């Protein structure tokens, strides 16, 4: 009876996980493979700290431009008419920040991940390849930035939004990157400011 109950509970948790947006999950307990905090608690805390919203944006950028301020931990998708959609982001940790102007060269849903050679040199414990999905560090969507190794991508660690923790990529919640993905086109200009 105990094993049957545990198995059914495990199945219920698995189905609940499928019904909950991947962005809502936080750190996973390595023994039980369950979220350490409830999905709702984690997502509510993150969303209230960095809500997606339409804001006044007085910049010289054309509609469709993506502007990132690493110091403010914000990304704006310029709508035009003095407005932009503002998102909270995670950015590169000290020593991994960068600035420049590029364009979106490719977009992928649930992208596979192949850590760059420089990252593998620093972290030989990382897998050489990880298939796309909820456990993948690139999250639900990725926008590839020019000829750089950087991406604007989702994250399976929503608690890192607003932090400087990445190796240079711009992290968003899976819900926010999905919204941005639906707006931005291949060829969209990306301006990253320090």
For the annotated catalytic residues, the residue numbers are 153, 169
Query: How far apart are alpha carbons 3 and 13 in whole angstroms?
Result: 15
Residues whose CB falls within 8 Å of the CB of residue 151, separated by 6 or more in sequence, listed in order: 111, 138, 142, 143, 144, 145, 169, 170
Cα separation, 34 vs 63, in Å, equals: 41
3-state SS, residue 18: helix
CB 145 within 8 A of CB 190: yes
């Amino acid at each position: 009876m105990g094993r049957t109950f545990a198995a059914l509970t495990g199945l219920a948790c698995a189905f609940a996980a499928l019904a909950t947006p991947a962005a809502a999950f936080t750190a996973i307990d390595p023994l039980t493979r369950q979220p350490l905090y409830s999905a709702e608690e984690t997502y509510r805390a993150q969303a209230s700290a960095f809500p997606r919203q339409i804001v006044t944006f007085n910049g010289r950028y054309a509609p469709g431009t993506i502007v990132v301020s690493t110091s403010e931990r914000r990304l704006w998708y310029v709508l035009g008419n003095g407005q932009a959609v503002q998102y909270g982001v995670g950015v590169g940790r000290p020593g991994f920040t960068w600035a420049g102007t590029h364009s979106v060269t490719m977009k992928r849903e649930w992208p596979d991940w192949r850590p760059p050679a420089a990252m593998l040199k620093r972290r030989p414990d990382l897998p050489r390849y990880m298939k796309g999905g909820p456990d993948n560090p690139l999250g639900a969507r990725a926008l590839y930035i020019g000829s750089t190794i950087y991406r604007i991508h989702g994250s399976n660690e929503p608690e890192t939004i607003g932090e400087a923790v990445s190796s240079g990529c711009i992290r968003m919640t899976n819900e926010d990157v999905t919204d941005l993905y639906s707006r931005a086109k291949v060829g969209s200009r990306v301006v990253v400011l320090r």
